[in-house]
Chain A
Amino acid sequence: MAKIDCSLSVTSDILPGLDISSTMTLKKADSEVGIELTSGLVRRSFTSTNQVDLVTAGAQNYGTPTASKSAKVYIKNVGSDSTKHFKIGKGTSSGSAAATAMVGNATTYWELGRLYGGDWMLIPWDAATTTGDITIQPSSAEKMDVEFMVFFE
């Protein structure tokens, strides 16, 4: 059993006492057993504004993330440009510069949020086949880089 710790620290002067400090140990679903599998840290470069899959569910060369089990995904825009971002979504990608329309049901796509230069995110992942894919769309056709890492059981 592996032990993976993820520690978050948010400090802010917007309000006094607003700081957040939280550590989680990644565990398998409904258990105290630690997650043991990972994609490793992956880096990808993009040179178009097409919306494509970044992290896909089902069989991969590093294993098979599935919806019924525990998974977490870390994603970071490793650029430094504050005016360029990646749109991160969940569902079906269009494969083109026109993003898949957002409809809140199980068969399509919804934009989660935007990662500007240096921004990162860590989310739980329901790795449902096809509809659970995590999509990405660069805001610029100039070279943009992203890193991601999947932890799963």
Chain B
Amino acid sequence: MATTTAALTISSSDLVGDALSLSTSKELHKADTTIGVDQTTGYAKVYLTSVQPIDIFPVIQENGSDPAGGFEDKTHWIYVCNKSETPTEFVTITISSQVIGKLYAGDWMWMPWSQSLDTHAGNLHADIELTPSVATGMFVDFAMFHEGIQYPDVDGDNAA
């Protein structure tokens, strides 16, 4: 069984009156189990030269279908880091076009991700999208740890 552990430390000596120190650590498990997640997209490092939004983690499920495996209810964890060192350069992170927040220079995020489908007729997906603030070039790193995702099939209909 694979073991993946995510640990966080938040510290500050001057945010509040006394020193702040918070530490937590957790193994990543498959949904509703204590079995470790055993798949990953690997670690990507990209250089983006456009302010066009891009899908870094797309949901492939089409037209409300729920393919064998039920990816929506599986565990996924995503990491994104803006590697820019220029304070005014940020990336906007969205889920299905809804803004989660902005990662400024050096910022990272770590969150679980549900590969949900739109429950209305719009057939929108919970794609994780990223939009650089400048077209002059920004490095961004990202990775996903998970227990299952769907890849696009060769004829494009993603049907079984």
Contacts and interface: CB of A to CB of B under 8 A. Distances in A.
Interface of A: 2-15, 18, 20, 22, 24-25, 27, 29-32, 36, 38, 40-41, 70-72, 74, 76, 82-83, 85, 87-88, 90-91, 101-106, 110-116, 118-126, 128, 131-132, 149
B154 interface: no
Given A12-B2, A12-B4, A25-B106, 17 more contacts: A6-B9, A8-B108, A11-B4, A14-B145, A18-B40, A18-B43, A20-B143, A30-B90, A91-B98, A103-B119, A112-B95, A116-B31, A118-B24, A121-B112, A126-B101, A126-B102, A149-B22
A14 B2 contact: yes
Contact of B32 (A82, A112, A126): A82
Contacts of B111: 88, 112-113, 121-123
Contacts of B5: 9-12
A24 B105 CA distance: 9
Nearest to A127: B101
Given A12-B145, A36-B15, A124-B103, A113 B114 contact: yes
A116 to B, nearest CB: 7
A15 B87 contact: no
A113 B7 contact: no
Contacts of A126: 99-102
Contacts of A24: 106-108
Given A104-B118, A105-B98, A14 B8 contact: no
Contact of A30 (B29, B97, B104): B104
Q: Is the interface of A mostly helix, strand, loop or mixed?
A: strand
B79 A20 contact: yes
Q: Which 6 A-B pairs rank lowest in CB-CB distance, beginning with the nearest?
A: A124-B101, A113-B112, A104-B96, A12-B4, A104-B124, A126-B99
Interface of B: 2-16, 20, 22, 24, 26, 29, 31-34, 37-40, 42-43, 75-77, 79, 81, 87-88, 90, 93, 95-114, 116-120, 122, 124, 126, 143, 145
A15 B32 CA distance: 24
Contacts of A20: 43, 79, 143
A72 B22 CA distance: 15
B121 to A, nearest CB: 9
A4 B124 CA distance: 37
A11 B40 CA distance: 12
Nearest to A71: B101
B31 A70 contact: no
Contacts of B119: 101-103
A67 to B, nearest CB: 8
13 contacts: A3-B13, A4-B11, A6-B10, A12-B145, A13-B2, A14-B145, A74-B22, A102-B120, A103-B122, A104-B118, A112-B113, A118-B26, A122-B111
B82 to A, nearest CB: 9
